[in-house]
Structure 1
Amino acid sequence: MKKSDIGVGMYLLAAVIFFIIPIPSFLLDIMLAINISVALIILFNVLFVKEVLDMSFFPTLLLFTTIFRISLNVSSTRLILTTGNPGNVVTTFGNFVGGGDMIIGAIVFIVLILIQFIVINKGSERVSEVTARFTLDAMPGKQMAIDADLNTGAITDKEAKARREKIQKESSFFGSMDGATKYVKGDATAGLIITFINLIGGTAMGMMNQGMDFQSAIMQYGILTIGDGLVSQIPSLLISLSTGILVTKGSNEADFSGVLVKQLFGIPKVLYIVGTVLIFLGVVTPLNWVLFVALGAVFILVGRNISSEIGEENIEEEVQAAESEAEEIRKPENVVSLLQVDPIELEFGYGIIPLADVNQGGDLLDRVVMIRRQIALELGTVVPIIRLRDNIQLNPNQYIIKIKGIQVTEGEILFDHYMAMNPGYVEEEITGIPTFEPSFHLPAIWITEGQRERAESLGYTVVDPPSIIATHLTEVIRAHIAELLTRQDVQNLVNNLKESNPVLVDELIPKLLGLGEIQKVLQNLLKEGISIRDLLTIFETLADHAATTRDTDVLTEYVRQSLKRAISSKYFPANETTSVVTLDPKVEQEIMQSVKQTEQGAYLTLDPEKTKSIMKSLGEEISKLENLGKSAIVITSPIVRMYFKKLTEDYYKDLIVVSYNEVESNVELQSVGMVTA
């Protein structure tokens, strides 16, 4: 057992023993001195502790000290009634603190009881109750704030866990304090009752056993009783004061005494006013002018001293700030920090700042959080932190999106306007400022708030500026999510999967494939918009085929075939016939014949004229689908799919190419054309 365990156990055991076994007066003196010491230790600990949770066991401590103090009260009562000699401490408190007079001692005792019971205990109890209520009510909001910071990348999982634990500890602490203050209140009540019992019982014992008259008995036992009450109530008062300090201190992580003095005497003009008022009262009124004038002069001098210190501190802070800036510039690592590139940046002009400022009602930050959640659910990967910055070099209503420090797109909005887009079937036109929707470059019109209701009633699609920016940002992230997937991201995904499937991960990495090769497969899937959320299926497929080939393109095709249910549900709606374009078998054969295998992978050596002819035919077939209002989907044989996709991606970036092995058997397809050479 630890020494601390033995000490706490003996402290509680002593309290129990004192209730049962009579103790001599010299031992009572020792225990009373220890009781006063413990009360002082608690008081100064509470006063100087920086955070309320550093005294998280305070409610338990209250219970321990209360029961120990009451046990000493019982022991002193037993000595007073049996021997009339409760020891030096009780006698001294009765004679010295109580003035050697029962009436004076009684008045002092009653005053202490009133201060503790009515002032300190009542206030502490109310503050504890309100604090506990507000702490519990604030828990959901604090939890949401932690989740928001975690989703935006402002804090790590470890920091978020620590914050959640702190919130739970705070709620438990203030909830316990709400009940623990009842101990202090009950202790004061019990002390008052015990004192009256001592007085009545001691007087009766003196008259009956010692033959004393009533006056002598009540004087002798009255002084001892008051001494016993004072020696127990003063530590109790210190504990009550400690409780009040702790519950009113809140959770400020600061030096309590330093902050208190600074807040009280930190404003020079307040001291000037107080000093002037005191001097005025000393000169004009019959008050002791020496005392008031001297005290007023002291306040004025202290105010001047503080004013000069504040001025010196401001100068020192300015000098220190300038030196710090110069030192930062001179630091060699400052240049290194300039080399860091943010994966995703959204820069905007000053006119868009209200959309990003929470204090002005902007919700752009919340939308960024939702984008990261949406992409995570849709594609199964974590989007890096999105940096939002204002840029005064941009036009007021302009914004740009950067990927790895390079601008990839831009847009412009009109603040306090809405963008109305014709879905294609609305014939009636509305007046506005012509523009193009930045995400898909569709024709649109800027309209005012007053036109919004009419535009929606006519059938126009109406969106607000934050939605425009959020949609544009989402589409840019989707288009570049493959290159944003780093090896570290892949390692994090592997670690998550390893928790539930350690055997699979150990079999695959690094025995069959390296982390970089898995990254290439996942990037290939993301590049074509295929979700990697089902990582278990992906890794099992890789483990099945990595023994025969390490070509990441071929492995990607195997993975796509194992994900055919997800691919079919993405491109081919259930209970609906989907129009597609097929590939001429002759074209497939020519593509396969032009494939050259190298150590670095396979590539096409197709004749440029043949490529041009195929792309022309493909363009005609895609137009047929677009005229029908359908998405451009080409169905090929499994072995040709990846080569045909590579061939077309420079011409038709958004073309969907699917192999027959990636289509569920219950999917109904209708070919509306064939790509020929």
Structure 2
Amino acid sequence: MFKFKDISVLLFVIIIMVMIIVPLPGWLLSILILINISMSLIIILVAMNITEPLQFSVLPSLLLVITMFRLGLNVSTTRSILAEADAGSVVDTFGSFVIGGNPLVGFVVFAILVIVQFLVITKGSERVSEVGARFTLDAMPGKQMSIDADLNAGLINEQQAKERRSKIEREADFYGAMDGASKFIKGDAIAGIIIVLINIIFGIIIGMLQMGMSIGEALSTYMQLTVGDGIVTQLPALLISTATGIIVTRAVSEENLSSDVTSQLLQYPKLLYIAGGTIFLLGFTPINFWLTSSISGVLFAGGYLLSRPTQELEVDQIEIEDEEAARQIESTENVVDLISMDPIEFEFGYSLIPLVDSSQGGDLMDRIVMIRRQLAIELGVVIPVVRIRDNIQLAPNAYQLKIKGNEVASGELMLDHYLAMTPGMEEDDLYGIDTVEPAFGLPAKWISEDVKDEAELSGYTVVDPPSVVSTHITEVIKKHAHLLLGRQETKQLVDHLKESYPILVEEVTPDPLSIGDIQKVLAKLLREQVSIRNLPVIFETLADFGKMTNDPELLGEYARQSLASQITKQYADESKSLRVITVSGEVEQMIADHVQQTEHGNYLALDPESQQRIISSVSEKIEQATLQSENSIILCSPTIRMYVKQLLDRFFPEVIVLSYNELEPDLDVQSIGVVKAG
């Protein structure tokens, strides 16, 4: 259903069409002319009172409508002038007032008005619009990177970043639209000049040939009407052009144009004394002494009045600033602020500042943005903003990564070196500083740039320091992703899923599973590096089994089995084969017999001697697999998989434990060892 405002705009457009086609009486033309002037005044007043261009983002479209309205008025008034030698009281009044009994003077005044609008205001606005659109588009990539940097530094949140990006896009669209709209204004000015010439020339011809006027009478009549018509149409056009120029030249400010002009123009009161003295000296020339004295007196008085309250204002300002500083100190000492904690923190020593300083070529912030996007795709969870800060308590080349306030990883970088990872050669004669690659614990060396080519030719994997720390951050966040997924983050994932699968979500939560239950299931999957991006499949499983049990361990196992295709693709090679360490029937039976069931969940209660025998067998098989450059993957039956994982987590946390139900049937599984009980 249309609102009144919508209907009014539609009616306005229809009136424009009627004006062009249907002859209008003089009284109606006078009303429309006054409406045109009123709208132009409103537009320029709005342009002067906004603080940034986007507050008047409708202006480009409004300019087109107003231009069409003004051209429609030109057509209607031209028809009335040529047909009836009458265009209403407003046109006649403006014409007689401007001409003042002398048609030639009136025409010259009108010509000056048109020239000022066309060559000065309209031409300048068009140029500024064009340059503004070009520079806005050129500055977009830099502004986007600045937003990403603020987001990574924790200065803004995701919602604020989204709003800033939207504002940048709207600014680009606005200046582009203004560039196009200014062309219409220029065309309107040219059309106004042509219409005036038509009115004068054809008015004289029609007046002499059809109305029997003398040439002097025709010239006086049609010159007055033409000038009056030109004034009432060009005056609003001048206001619109000025408003356009104000908008496109307006810098973003906290105040409107009037406040900025008065505050900035009069911010140095002493300069009024100099201006007043200069005007006073002009009085000793043939210029009227009393006139110059009066003006200089006004300037002196203005300078005195503006200077007098400045000292009081400065004192008041100091007091206000002191109060503001006290409030800020009190705010920063708020206990609530002190106990807040960032989910992820990256701290570094002062020698590593070039890593994050864009002026020194540092791109770590941009890399972290890409890491968060990459992990969102891989794991299906939104990684919180990484707070980056320097820490003078760290060694100059050291860095550390914290998850919820606890240090989970650390390392050292040498910014003027490259990290070369050994290809496994027994004779390692490359010159460098021995170290360990931080992400995977591989033996490596810090080498200088002059031996980089030699290392690459020798088969070493050579990476620069930013890549080293980026890889380390990525692997650490992947390993601890389950710690970053709390109930609040889970609720956001559920709400996002509900937009596409409302029935599925309603069947799972809040009954039979709470957000906390779902969070535990998802965290269990992430803990074992299983992506939760395929939430619909996971929720289908929870809907099927959630009514039978709310044990997150069991629900996690069911979810893993439903993600069999994903898990198979994650670990199998391109030929769809998988080499694994299997668990013997004896060990499986032993584990199954020692599972204790309680009301708080199931757990494995295996005696220490049996545990030791199984651990020793697993250790031996893992060592053999490592010698054969094979991944340590243990395969067992679905009923004991989670208990095997629980048993091995304390000794081999990196070992992957899969069940037969988590693999696709057509996968070629090859056993490279068997875990036995003795």
TM range (shorter): 0.7 to 0.9
Cα offset, 1:107, TM superposition: 1.6
Mapped to 2, the partners of 1:595 and 1:625 lie a distance apart of 29
Mapped to 1, the partners of 2:460 and 2:139 lie a distance apart of 42
Mapped to 2, the partners of 1:671 and 1:22 lie a distance apart of 96
CA offsets 1:247-292 (integer angstroms, 9 cap, x no match): 33366675233334444444678x4896499479759988778877
In the superposition, relative to structure 1, how do residues 227 and 353 fare at CA in structure 2: closer, same or farther (>3 Å)? same
Cα offset, 1:424, TM superposition: 0.7
Equivalent pair of 2:13/2:65 in contact (CA under 8 Å): yes
Higher mean displacement: 665-674 or 215-224:
215-224
Mapped to 2, the partners of 1:26 and 1:354 lie a distance apart of 74
Mapped to 2, the partners of 1:81 and 1:172 lie a distance apart of 42
CA offsets 1:620-639 (integer angstroms, 9 cap, x no match): 22221222222222222322
Give the 3-state SS of the residue equivalent to 2:430 in structure 1.
coil
Give the 3-state SS of the residue equivalent to 1:547 in structure 2.
coil
Counterpart position of 1:195: 196
Cα offset, 1:190, TM superposition: 3.2
Mapped to 1, the partners of 2:432 and 2:559 lie a distance apart of 49
Give the 3-state SS of the residue equivalent to 1:424 in structure 2.
coil
Give the 3-state SS of the residue equivalent to 1:639 in structure 2.
coil
Equivalent pair of 1:94/1:100 in contact (CA under 8 Å): no
Give the 3-state SS of the residue equivalent to 1:415 in structure 2.
coil
Give the 3-state SS of the residue equivalent to 1:638 in structure 2.
coil
Equivalent pair of 2:580/2:669 in contact (CA under 8 Å): no
Counterpart position of 1:609: 609
In the superposition, relative to structure 1, how do residues 402 and 285 fare at CA in structure 2: closer, same or farther (>3 Å)? farther
In the superposition, relative to structure 1, how do residues 598 and 458 fare at CA in structure 2: closer, same or farther (>3 Å)? same
In the superposition, relative to structure 1, how do residues 68 and 494 fare at CA in structure 2: closer, same or farther (>3 Å)? closer
Give the 3-state SS of the residue equivalent to 2:657 in structure 1.
strand
Counterpart position of 2:521: 521
Equivalent pair of 1:581/1:675 in contact (CA under 8 Å): no
Give the 3-state SS of the residue equivalent to 2:395 in structure 1.
coil
Give the letter for the 1:46 counterpart: A
Q: How does 1:525-674 map to 2 (within 5 A)?
A: 525-575=525-575, 578-665=578-665, 666-674=667-675
Mapped to 2, the partners of 1:100 and 1:616 lie a distance apart of 116
Give the 3-state SS of the residue equivalent to 1:532 in structure 2.
coil
In the superposition, relative to structure 1, how do residues 337 and 135 fare at CA in structure 2: closer, same or farther (>3 Å)? same
Give the 3-state SS of the residue equivalent to 1:490 in structure 2.
helix
- Number of residue pairs aligned between Structure 1 and Structure 2: 676
CA offsets 1:426-445 (integer angstroms, 9 cap, x no match): 73422222222222333322
Counterpart position of 1:62: 63
Q: How does 1:83-162 map to 2 (within 5 A)?
A: 88-135=89-136
Cα offset, 1:563, TM superposition: 2.4
Cα offset, 1:82, TM superposition: 6.2
In the superposition, relative to structure 1, how do residues 401 and 104 fare at CA in structure 2: closer, same or farther (>3 Å)? same
Give the letter for the 2:498 counterpart: K
Cα offset, 1:346, TM superposition: 0.8
In the superposition, relative to structure 1, how do residues 8 and 413 fare at CA in structure 2: closer, same or farther (>3 Å)? closer
Mapped to 2, the partners of 1:293 and 1:420 lie a distance apart of 83
Higher mean displacement: 402-411 or 156-165:
156-165
Equivalent pair of 2:584/2:674 in contact (CA under 8 Å): no
Counterpart position of 1:364: 364
In the superposition, relative to structure 1, how do residues 74 and 494 fare at CA in structure 2: closer, same or farther (>3 Å)? closer
Equivalent pair of 1:52/1:251 in contact (CA under 8 Å): yes
Higher mean displacement: 114-123 or 271-280:
271-280
Cα offset, 1:36, TM superposition: 2.7
Give the 3-state SS of the residue equivalent to 2:381 in structure 1.
coil
Give the 3-state SS of the residue equivalent to 1:642 in structure 2.
helix
Mapped to 2, the partners of 1:555 and 1:13 lie a distance apart of 65
In the superposition, relative to structure 1, how do residues 93 and 10 fare at CA in structure 2: closer, same or farther (>3 Å)? same
In the superposition, relative to structure 1, how do residues 304 and 565 fare at CA in structure 2: closer, same or farther (>3 Å)? farther
Mapped to 2, the partners of 1:13 and 1:641 lie a distance apart of 75
Cα offset, 1:365, TM superposition: 0.9
Equivalent pair of 2:48/2:256 in contact (CA under 8 Å): no
Cα offset, 1:198, TM superposition: 3.4
Matched, 1:494 2:533: no
Cα offset, 1:332, TM superposition: 10
Give the letter for the 1:177 counterpart: M
> What stretches of structure 2 of length at least 5 have no aligned partner?
none
TM-score where L is the length of structure 2: 0.87
Give the letter for the 1:40 counterpart: L
Counterpart position of 2:458: 458
Q: How does 1:403-552 map to 2 (within 5 A)?
A: 403-425=403-425, 427-552=427-552
Cα offset, 1:100, TM superposition: 2.6
Higher mean displacement: 207-216 or 449-458:
207-216
In the superposition, relative to structure 1, how do residues 547 and 95 fare at CA in structure 2: closer, same or farther (>3 Å)? closer
TM-score where L is the length of structure 1: 0.87
Give the letter for the 2:623 counterpart: S
Equivalent pair of 1:328/1:334 in contact (CA under 8 Å): no
Give the 3-state SS of the residue equivalent to 1:346 in structure 2.
strand
Give the 3-state SS of the residue equivalent to 2:640 in structure 1.
helix
Mapped to 1, the partners of 2:576 and 2:42 lie a distance apart of 79
Cα offset, 1:330, TM superposition: 4.1
In the superposition, relative to structure 1, how do residues 59 and 559 fare at CA in structure 2: closer, same or farther (>3 Å)? closer
In the superposition, relative to structure 1, how do residues 174 and 369 fare at CA in structure 2: closer, same or farther (>3 Å)? closer
> What stretches of structure 1 of length at least 5 have no aligned partner?
none
Equivalent pair of 1:124/1:244 in contact (CA under 8 Å): yes
Counterpart position of 1:378: 378
Give the letter for the 2:454 counterpart: R
Mapped to 2, the partners of 1:448 and 1:277 lie a distance apart of 70
Provide the aligned C-alpha RMSD in A: 3.8
Mapped to 2, the partners of 1:306 and 1:406 lie a distance apart of 58
In the superposition, relative to structure 1, how do residues 224 and 479 fare at CA in structure 2: closer, same or farther (>3 Å)? closer
In the superposition, relative to structure 1, how do residues 364 and 172 fare at CA in structure 2: closer, same or farther (>3 Å)? closer
Equivalent pair of 1:95/1:101 in contact (CA under 8 Å): no
Mapped to 2, the partners of 1:578 and 1:77 lie a distance apart of 87
Mapped to 1, the partners of 2:395 and 2:313 lie a distance apart of 41
Give the letter for the 1:448 counterpart: S
Counterpart position of 1:178: 179
Give the letter for the 1:507 counterpart: E
In the superposition, relative to structure 1, how do residues 94 and 362 fare at CA in structure 2: closer, same or farther (>3 Å)? same
